[in-house]
Structures are given as structure tokens and as C-alpha cells.
Amino acid sequence: MLGKIMELWFTENHTDEARFSIKVDKHLFSKQSEFQRIDVFESKEFGKILTLDGFLMVTEKDEFIYHDMITHVPMAVNPNISKVLVIGAGDGGTVRELLRYKTITHIDMVEIDKDVVTVCKEYLPLTACGLTDNKVHLYFEDGLKFVRGKVSEYDLIIVDSTDPFGPGEGLFTKEFYGNCYRALKEDGILVNQHESMYYTSYAESMKRAHQRIQDSFPVAKIYQAHIPTYPSGHWLFGFASKKYDPIQDLDSDKWNKLGLKTKYYNTDLHVGAFAIPNYVKEQLEER
């Protein structure tokens, strides 16, 4: 009798009591870099999957949701953005979306781990395709340090980082948000990936991160998206600005006239995304 062929699953612990698993066909790549363990898997349901230290970063099937929401929300509020700083984002999905705007002429991307970019160029061309564009200037260093010396340089800063521990920890600090404020022009916008507040594990640190952003910027809001492979599926983003309100200053007609085809983002959804659930509001309001 033939033995049962072993099935291979990628499993991430979302809490000590809850796990999320995806059946995978192949483990395509694994390496311990200077900063983290990098793995790439191939799956039928989600296509290729990038994980760092065992945490899922990107899947080919649902990356469009995250990258639409982290780029098109600020771009629809200020369609004249031309110089952008992207921190983290080694998979390239954020840069790919930004490059769709003709107004954007210069993107500085600061990724701490060169190996992530090398691996994504080889295994995830769907997201990494824009990383060789001549408008993109790649720096392999800590985003926390990079932003320290910058003054009134950028229209938009996007923080597309890992979680608030390990190499990404400094990107959730008061010092970092203050430096982002200084690095932005007078109508600058900061958008950051803001984790989920559904499970208690990250809720406290994200509440504190939001308060630090509120202390640094006159406008600080939270918006949401449904991302199936991230913990709880309910993901948050931060929108902070020196001037713009993300709803009152949304220029729907101007954005819609650009004719960009998007699979998740639209300007009605933009408005709805800022209507966050009470359990998130209540946690954010606690001081």
C-alpha cells in the first residue's frame, strides 16, 4: 500500500491561540539575511508568498488590496504629488502603484534589507517590476536614520514596514514621526501600515503609535481595508498630514479622470474606508 504523500502548509501564529495556514506546493527559497529569515513559497490558492521571520508579507493573490490602499488614498487627496519617500516596501508593490502617476518624478525607496529586494526581483516580478525604473532611487539602509537629515523634501512619505518589533521597531517611534514631519513639504502627507487592532497582541503598540502621530501632525486619521491573509483580515493604515483632510480634500473627479484601473480602490470606497469600527475607535481614543 502506498504511503500518504506529506502535505506542506505555511502556518503563521496570529496569536498563541489562533493560527492561519495556507497549503503550499513548493518551498522555493529560504535564507537567513543579516536582518531576518526570508522565505518564498508557491501555493495554488494565493500564488507566490513572501514571508519574513515566519510572518506573511505579500501574496500574489491579495497584494493588490494593500498596495492600492497605501498609495491611491494619498494620491487622490493630493494629485500633484511629485517627490515621494518610500520606507521598507522591498517587495516593490508600493513603487509599482506610484509609478502609474505621471506627476511623480522622483521616488526614494529606503529598504533596510538588500536581500529582500534581490529575492523579490527573482521570485515576485508581479510586485518588483518597477524597482528598476529610472525614477526610483534605491537606498539600502535603516529608514529611521535616512529620514533624520531631511528637511521639507517630500510631498508624500509611505511607511510600508514590517511589524513594530525587530528591524521595523524604530519606524513606530515619536522620533521617527517627528523627523517625517520635518522631511515633508508644507502640504506633505504621511501614510503608514498600521497593523490590525483586532487581536490584543498589537493593539497597545498601535494605539501608542497613533498617539505619537497625533502628537506630531495636525491631521491624523485611520483607515481600513479587508486583507484576507493578514491577521484577522481587518487591516489598518494611518493617514497624517500637515494640511489635507483625507475626505474633505479628496478630489474624486480629478482622480477618476486619470482613468487608472484599480482592482480594489475607488473614490467611494476611499470615503467609506475612514469609517472605522467602534472597537478600533474606542481603543484609539483611550489615552
Q: Which residues contact 260 (CB under 8 A, 6 or more apart)?
A: 72, 100
Per CB under 6 A, which of residues 71..90 are in contact with ligand SAM?
Answer: 87-90
Which lies closer to ligand SAM via its Cβ, residue 57 or residue 131? 57
Q: What is the size of the binding site for ligand SAM (CB under 6 A)?
A: 25
Is residue 111 a known part of a binding site? yes
* Binding flags for ligand SAM, 187-226, as an x/- string (CB under 6 A): ------x---------------------------------
What's the one-letter identity of residue 171? Answer: L
- In the block, cell 501600515 appears at 193
Given 62, 108, 113, 160, the catalytic residue: 160
- 489615552: which residue's cell? 287
The C-alpha cell at 14 is: 496570529
Q: Residue 14 and residue 55: Cα distance in Å, rounded?
A: 9
Query: DSSP code of 112?
Result: S
Task: Tell me how crowded residue 137 is: count the other CB atoms within 10 A of its CB.
Answer: 11
Phi, psi angle pair for 119, to nearest 5°? -65, -40
53 is in an annotated binding site: no
Residue range at the interface with ligand SAM (CB under 6 A); choices 130-138, 161-169, 199-207, 239-247: 161-169
Q: Could you count the other beta carbons within 10 Å of the beta carbon of residue 225? A: 21
Binding of residue 167 to ligand SAM (CB under 6 A): yes
> SS3 for 245?
coil
Minimal distance, residue 287 CB to ligand SAM, in Å: 26
Q: Is 160 a catalytic residue?
A: yes
Report strand pairing: 184-193 vs 154-160: parallel
**Judged by CB, which is closer to ligand SAM: 194, or 250?**
194
Identity of the residue, 79 or 170, whose beta carbon is nearer to ligand SAM in the bound complex: 170
Q: What residues line the site for ligand SAM (CB under 6 A)?
A: 52, 57-58, 66, 87-91, 110-113, 116, 142-144, 160-162, 167-168, 170-171, 193
Residues serving a catalytic function are 160
Extract the annotated binding site for S-methyl-5'-thioadenosine: 36, 111, 142-143, 167
